Amino acid sequence: MSMDSLLETVSSNRASGGTQGVYRHASAATGTPMVFSVFVPDHAPGTKLPLVWYLSGLTCTHVNVTDKGEFRRACAELGLIFIAPDTSPRGEGVPDDAAGAYDFGLGAGFYVDATEAPFAANYRMETYVTQELPALIVANFPVDTARQGITGHSMGGHGALTLALRHPGQYRSVSAFSPIAAPGQVPWGEKALGGYLGGDRELWRHHDATALIEDGARVADILVDQGDADQFLAEQLRPELLAAACAAAGIPLTLRMQPGYDHSYYFISTFMADHLAWHAARLS
């Protein structure tokens, strides 16, 4: 594939009957360099493939899922391109949590466009993930933009659900691993949405999957896997709130409580192939 001159190849490796690449570019949305990974399975010349976006959780970069997600074999078998962006802007001058906490600032962009100083200049992750990076992907990879799915873990599960609900028609399928299902009602979300968007909780509802559904946003169906031994389940994740909203709205939700599984990539990798098959069925 010929690379756009704006895209730098950090690494490229043969893997699972395809190519695992890592790329860097200068982002206009965030005003920083951004790094992301893309797996492209082998395919016939000229073929356009469906793609699945994977949004990572707090403290993560593209590296976590790329190294530990165990997605490549399933993607090769299903003919899916797999794209993993970063979770926040990074670099000199990018503001971070004042106390250096893990759940706000660097590695914790929450997939929103911040409106509050000093974060508004760089923390524009919704624009980055839904507009800027897709345009770069289309220019450089053999993707069929009419066949996009989105998934993610924890903060990234929140991102997958909210972006699918906020951008109807952009994603044909959506799933999540242990998502922050109602960020407006839990400490992680209250801190992040308050810090990025300000104190008006009504504005937070536009970035809260449970609230978006309550307020009329719709998707065709949702798959969620959640470990019942997840240490964040009761306080931060609250899948029962999403389930209630989906039931009231008539959105088919497959919520699978997985016995004994925690919040880690051991859990994610175990059910990754199930999620990719879910997306492939809806992107075929």
What are the residue numbers of the active site?
154, 230, 263
Cα dihedral sign for 24, 16, 226, 274? Answer: positive
Q: Which residues pair with 207 in a beta bridge?
A: none
- How many of the other CB atoms lie within 10 Å of CB of 190? 14
Q: Which amino acid is at 175?
A: S
Count CA atoms closer than 13 A to 199's CA, side-chain side. Answer: 0
Q: Which residues pair with 82 in a beta bridge?
A: 39, 52
For residue 157, which of 67, 48, 249, 236 has the smallest C-alpha distance? 236
Q: What's the Cα-to-Cα distance from 126 to each of 31, 129, 241, rounded to whole Å?
A: 14, 5, 23
